[in-house]
Amino acid sequence: MILTVTLNAALDITYRVPALTPHASHRVTEVTERPGGKGLNVARVLAALGHDVTVTGFAGGDTGRALRDRLATEPHITDALAPVAGATRRTVAVVDAATGDTTQLNEPGPAVAPAEWAAFLDSYEELVRRDGMAAVALCGSLPPGVPVGAYALLIRSARAARVPVLLDTSGEPLRRGVAARPDVVKPNADELAELTGSHEPDRATRDARRRGAHAVVASLGADGLLAVTADGGWRARPPKRVRGNPTGAGDSAVAGLLSGLAEHLPWPDRLARAVALSAATVVAPVAGEFDAATYEDLLPRVAVTGQVTAA
């Protein structure tokens, strides 16, 4: 069992229109609604790989109910979302069918009251201590009302329960989270530069590790992954740059790393899986989904090379 945490979950709504034009009225040709937010995207990819996943975070109001109703129909996913009085946010993606370009509108999400945060913490403590819990992923931004050190707290309790914990966030929650010594942190290039002040990935990745993370896996867009771990350093590159929608590629990289961790694969195999899955996600039109044929095709062709990592 793998646990993913999405404190800022969303109901993702996608409208498809023939062509998007400012000041014009548009006929919507297709509407889809699905549970969203980074940890839920990670969970969906893990479920597609055959892992059992429990999802937690917050859900509330009519949109929270709609999100949970849909989650209930998804195989391998168990809903452990905690209640919040405000309504779960919606995100709206407007896809221009002619160009494939997406215009994204994101609501901020409801504020979390102190009592709601306390109740979430109790349920999280119970979840990480369950028998068979193989890993925890903490994903995305923090909603209003949640303390900025929230991820640091969740990392400490996972580690106290001896469950490996991966962090994927940005800004101050990332900075404080890294200092709490997560097993893995997965920043993208911007998040890594903001954390370390360096735009040089090798240097920044080693710096992030010195700040406390046991392993740092930096995602560098079409250039793949750069990992620095206690067992060594690696570069993993996709065999080719693929075209498509890169939103959610990082979430699929996280899913690949976690599934490999849960299956006790060595680091190079985890990285290859993460790179193939995330490229297969760029090819798929919707975040949190990947193209299975592309994944199978790319997996044996990902180049993973060892790197000498000066401390």
Q: List, by residue number, the catalytic residues.
A: 251
Query: Using the rule CB under 5 A, which residue among 36, 39, 110, 250 binds Mg ion?
Result: 250
- Return the range that interacts with ligand ATP (CB under 6 A); candidates 49-57, 73-81, 102-110, 239-247: 239-247
- Shortest CB 146 distance to Mg ion, Å: 19
- The Cα–Cα gap between 64 and 41 comes to 16
DSSP 18: S
- The Cα–Cα gap between 271 and 276 comes to 9
Reference 105, options 116, 95, 113, 115; nearest CA is 95
Verify binding: residue 6, ligand ATP, rule CB under 6 A: no
Reference 133, options 5, 229, 40, 230; nearest CA is 5
Q: Which residue has the tokens 């349920």?
A: 123
Site for Mg ion in 157-216 (CB under 5 A): 188
Q: Do 62 and 87 touch, CB atoms closer than 8 A?
A: yes
Q: What are phi and psi of 83, to 5 degrees?
A: -75, 150
- Return the range that interacts with Mg ion (CB under 5 A); candidates 23-31, 111-119, 244-252, 283-291: 244-252
Fill in the per-residue mask, 281 to 300: x = in contact with ligand ATP (CB under 6 A), - = not in contact: -x------------------
- At CA 6, angle to CA 50 and CA 164, rounded to 5? 60
Verify binding: residue 242, ligand ATP, rule CB under 6 A: yes
Q: Work out the end-to-end distance of the chain between its first and last CA atoms, rounded to an integer number of angstroms.
A: 34
Verify binding: residue 37, ligand ATP, rule CB under 6 A: no
Question: Closer CB to ligand ATP, residue 56 or residue 245?
Answer: 245
- The Cα–Cα gap between 297 and 77 comes to 26
Q: Which residue has the tokens 């297969």?
A: 280
Query: Using the rule CB under 6 A, which residue among 61, 221, 232, 285 binds ligand ATP?
Result: 221
- Shortest CB 298 distance to ligand ATP, Å: 9
Question: Closer CB to ligand ATP, residue 110 or residue 248?
Answer: 248
- Shortest CB 114 distance to Mg ion, Å: 28
Q: Is 227 helix (H, G, I), strand (E, B) or coil?
A: strand
Verify binding: residue 193, ligand ATP, rule CB under 6 A: no
- Return the range that interacts with Mg ion (CB under 5 A); candidates 13-21, 63-71, 242-250, 280-288: 242-250
Where along the sequence are the contacts to ligand ATP (CB under 6 A)? Answer: 188, 219-222, 224-225, 238, 241-242, 246-251, 253, 275, 278-279, 282
